[in-house]
Amino acid sequence: MVKFNAARLVEDCGGVTAVAKALGKTRTAPYRMLRTGYMGTPVLAKLLETHPNLNLNNYFEEVTANGHTHQQG
């Protein structure tokens, strides 16, 4: 199973406050992303505008049967 690591992406983009500012949202929006692990396409596109060197593939991790994760690739 593959899981998207939204927490690591938010951290790599400067943290909750920086992501909220880049999105033009309040800090609750990034916290919701952290809680759900979900970011919609418009959010990802906006983060790529502000951080063009991001490789989104780096944020997908494989979850093993025992619950451990490791980065794909």
Tell me which residue range forms the domain holding 18: 2-71
Domain count, the chain: 1
pLDDT (tens digit, 9 = 90+) per residue, 5-36? 999 999 999 999 999 999 999 999 999 999 99
**pTM for the model:** 0.82
Q: What is the rounded CA–CA span in Å between residue 45 and residue 69?
A: 25
